[in-house]
Chain A
Amino acid sequence: MSTTRRRFLQAASASGAVAGIAGFSALSKVLEPLLTGPGDGLAPFGPPTGDEISQEIHILNRLTFGPRPGDMEEILKLGTRPWIVRQLHPEDIDDTWTEARTRHFEALHVWPLGELLEYSAKELLDQMTRDKILRAAHSKRQLQEVMVDFWTDHFNIDPSKGDSKWLKPADDREVIRKHSLGKFRELTAASAKSPSMLWYLDGRLNRRATESEKPNENYARELLELHTLGVNGGYTQQDVMEIARCLTGWTVRARDESRFAVGKVAFKKHLHDDGEKTVLGEKIPAGLGAGDLDLVLDIVCGHPSTARYLAEKLCRRFISDEAPEVSITSTAKAFSNSGGDIRKTLAALFSSQEFLDSRGTKVKRPFHFVISTLRATAARTDAGPALQDYLVRMGHAPFQYPTPDGYPDEAQPWMATLLWRWKFALDFANRSLKGTSFDEKKLVRSAGGKTATAAHFLGRKATAQEISALSASGNPAALLIACPAFQVF
């Protein structure tokens, strides 16, 4: 049963009243019958027909969290170039349905930050996790979701440390989501002053050297090692210390200090080391105060090693775990030439022959695997505990990576998750995964039969071996989800 936008919004505003009285779960119950959104109706769709993965499927595989029924037709209709351009401009893509679907995670939309303290840390983590899962599964702005995931790892914050428990939602919104396809310098600047980051990497404790205090180098080090130049980028311990000096004095109001102004970031002049510093060979004159941060950001974001380090990571994400040198070089060049414009850098990456030719060279990380299952089957989910449990078991639960390096983006660290993926596949296919369901009959009918459904999952025609394996398995849906071909993209 499909719904018109108008009807949906009418129901949503009516259910707003319900939510006010009866809360979150009651609201979900009102919305659930209306949650067949665009693309979820499982209209008849054409699966891939080639023996190999086509250009279009490859681009869907890489720029989204997995093709949904109908995605292939959309990209064929638009043409690959225009489709990519469209994804690079998410602001031009209507995503009303997803916005409405995630609107009731009210904690993620509150302002000022003090409002976040009204929620338990557990509730906030749950809302952030559900929001991320549902956006990844449903958003039409898929490349944006992929880049949000990328930058979340790159500027990793584990909220379980200190006040970050309550402040990470603001970071997700104001730092990561806001700048995911924007300018790298703005993204890094937002991260440097993010209350959550100031907690996570101790920036709030970074004070100029006195008898009783000294600088805390934690953020300065990770800024260089993980966020910008990279561990081999050519900085020294002295640079770490000088940057730490530059960043002294930034404070954030703690929860136990002031509930009202919690998370408020303030530069305190008397805690700042205002002397002259030298960072990566460049002089930062004395007396700039808060301006030291801007100069540091100019230096590190504009450093050639940063272009290269970011290019390496982007090529690892979009091409392969060992991306060819030529791709890294050209992507780095695009980054530098564009003044660190993420959109333009990606556009260049996606035009490269190496990207276009790299079919099936990446293994899905667990989050991607789970989301691609939901997308391929047009499943409905509440993204609740049962689903989240699988991500925990596979060690890829959103916002739960403890160290600043973020979840690794290569295949090897994830190889022990196969057993849990198989368990997930069976649980999902058997419709025993609480809170998640899909209509297998309708999916097969809309695809045009069992063989077509297999092709839809695999991104190409199934081989004779695969077809006979599916028949003999006794549970073809589970086998399709669990099989090696569905683990790669």
Chain B
Amino acid sequence: MVTTFIDKQQDAAGTLVVVFLRGGADGLNMVVPHGDDGYYRARPGVGIKKQELTDLDGFFGLNPNLKALAPWWKEGELSIVHCAGSEDETRSHFEAQDFMDHGGLAAGGWLGRFLRSRPDAGQSPLTAIAIGPQLPESLRGAPSCASIQSLEDFGLGKDIPAGFLPQLSELYRTAPGILGPAGMDALAALERINALTRSSYSPANGANYKDDDFSSGLRQIARLIKGRVGLQAATIDLGGWDSHVTQSVIMDPPMRKLSEGLNAFATDLGKNELARASIVVLTEFGRRVAENSAVGTDHGRGSVMFTLGAGSSGAGKVIADWPDLSTSPLVGPGDLPVNHNYRDILAPILRKQSPAINLAEVFPDHVLKSPT
């Protein structure tokens, strides 16, 4: 009896889930430095009052719309890095997203390169997925990736004649060379997917996914992770963050979706799965410290990054190297600095997911800071 690739998945490495907040999410209002007067002076209209926040560490507090993430902070699972971002200075959505997705001036996407350079690269037909209609640039160059709307996209379809798979199976069972085992692997993966799509999925631990696309997408990912189909990476985007006007009106709904979705996802995964999976949340840039005249904010630089799960570290304190907003010089027209390059935050997570990875291949354009 041949051991298929699927059989080996029980012990295989976990899944990296990349959540991209498209539109330049205002980290300053998501993780608020309530201990910094300068914040309130710069944001008389847009600023969040201290009593509305969930305090994190005595200086920073979580926006009320993100309070579903609070338990994960308390449990030491959620890690927060402020003044995080890339060195791109264009403040252009397209340029900054492109830069971040590529991992700098490099060919292909950073995630695609990560998946290709791993020693166990490309062994699964389901190596990487993107939830949604399109593949993000970050996955460009991956050994295999598919954008899916639902699990059914992976199967061979509902209309295949009854005799097809058995005949295909028999031909591959007797095929010479490596096609035989490869065929058995593919059939095992297919069987696993069919089993997943046939059964209805019950989230574990009382996890409560809402109906929006973001939560539904995370639900699909959770299903695939638990299904042990060889998924090494999944990407999902959440848009709607470009809050030039009436910030609260624009930002509150995506913040709620983000926190409730992630909360349901992490709950559903449970302790053991969360120890294998890694979740990162990033955005292409943050927003101007000072609010504008439309009670909104304009494009800035540093923002927040969240990480959960394997390779995530720094529980209990928000990592920032915070500039005093009253006295410190800000960047350019008045933006938060980028004190923490996103690649340095990703590095330990990537190492955890693939210990033998050569990070210089994943981030050829960046000299990584050694872990502190």
Which A residues fall within an 8 A CB radius of B? 157-162, 164, 200, 363, 392-395, 400-403, 411-420, 422-423, 426-427, 430, 465-466, 469-470, 472-475, 478-479, 482-484, 487-488
Contacts and interface: CB of A to CB of B under 8 A. Distances in A.
A207 B176 CA distance: 53
Contacts of A394: 144
Interface stretch (B64-72, B116-124, B239-247, B339-347): B116-124
Given A413-B122, A418-B125, A469-B170, A484 B105 contact: no
Given A426-B156, A488-B179, A393 B161 contact: no
Residue from B5, B154, B168, B170 with most neighbouring chain A CB atoms (10 Å): B168
Contact of A395 (B142, B160, B163): B142
B159 interface: yes
A393 B186 contact: no
Given A403-B361, A417-B125, A474 B156 contact: no
A488 B185 CA distance: 18
Given A402-B140, A417-B125, A423-B157, A160 B108 contact: yes
B143 interface: yes
B105 to A, nearest CB: 6
Given A162-B105, A400-B108, A413-B122, A420 B161 contact: no
Contacts of A402: 106-109, 112-113, 116, 140-141
A487 B135 CA distance: 27
B171 interface: yes
Interface string B222-234: 0000000000000
B183 interface: yes
Contact of A484 (B145, B157, B161, B172): B172
A217 B293 CA distance: 50
Contact of B164 (A200, A393, A416, A479): A479
Interface in B87-119: 102, 105-109, 112-113, 116-117
B162 interface: yes
A71 B181 CA distance: 33
A411 B175 CA distance: 14
Interface in B155-209: 156-157, 159-164, 166-168, 170-172, 174-183, 185-186, 189-190
22 contacts: A157-B107, A394-B144, A401-B108, A402-B109, A403-B108, A403-B116, A415-B178, A416-B143, A418-B182, A418-B186, A419-B190, A426-B156, A426-B160, A469-B171, A473-B164, A473-B167, A474-B160, A474-B163, A479-B164, A484-B171, A484-B180, A487-B179
A469 B141 contact: no
B157 A426 contact: yes
Closest 8 CB pairs of A and B: A474-B161, A402-B108, A158-B107, A402-B141, A484-B175, A415-B182, A419-B125, A418-B186
A346 to B, nearest CB: 26
A125 to B, nearest CB: 10
Interface in B319-359: none
Contact of A400 (B140, B162, B170, B361): B140
A484 B180 CA distance: 8
Contacts of A487: 179
A422 B177 CA distance: 19
Contact of A472 (B137, B159, B163, B178): B163
B324 to A, nearest CB: 34
Kindly name the residue among A394, A465, A474, A484 whose own CB sees the greatest number of chain B CB atoms within 10 A. Answer: A484
B274 interface: no
Given A402-B116, A472-B163, A416 B185 contact: yes
Nearest to A469: B167
A484 B108 CA distance: 32
A405 to B, nearest CB: 10
B107 A422 contact: no
Contacts of B135: 392
A483 B168 contact: yes
Given A393-B145, A416-B144, A469-B167, A484 B159 contact: no
A310 B189 CA distance: 37
The secondary-structure label for the interface of chain A is helix
Interface size class of B (residues with CB under 8 A): 35 or more
A423 B107 contact: no
Given A393-B144, A422-B156, A479-B164, A161 B106 contact: yes
Contacts of A474: 160-164
Contacts of A484: 171-172, 175-176, 179-180, 183
Nearest to B141: A402
B162 to A, nearest CB: 7
A114 B187 CA distance: 50
B30 interface: no
Contacts of B157: 423, 426-427
Given A160-B107, A423-B156, A479-B168, A400 B183 contact: no
A164 B185 CA distance: 38
A422 B155 CA distance: 10
A466 B145 CA distance: 32
Given A419-B190, A473-B168, A487-B179, 12 more contacts: A157-B107, A160-B137, A161-B105, A363-B178, A416-B185, A419-B189, A420-B144, A473-B164, A475-B164, A479-B168, A484-B171, A484-B179
A417 B143 CA distance: 9
A90 to B, nearest CB: 30
Given A415-B178, A475-B160, A395 B171 contact: no
B127 interface: yes
A213 B72 CA distance: 47
Contacts of A411: 177-178
Contact of B171 (A164, A363, A483): A483
Give the interface centre of A395, A403, A427 by most chain B CB atoms within 10 Å.
A395
A44 B174 CA distance: 33
A400 B141 contact: yes
A395 B140 CA distance: 9
Nearest to A161: B107
Nearest to A421: B186
A418 B181 CA distance: 11
Contacts of A160: 102, 107-108, 137, 140
A401 B141 contact: yes
A204 to B, nearest CB: 12
Contacts of B106: 161, 402
B171 A412 contact: no
A393 to B, nearest CB: 5
B278 to A, nearest CB: 21
Given A395-B144, A479-B168, A416 B179 contact: no
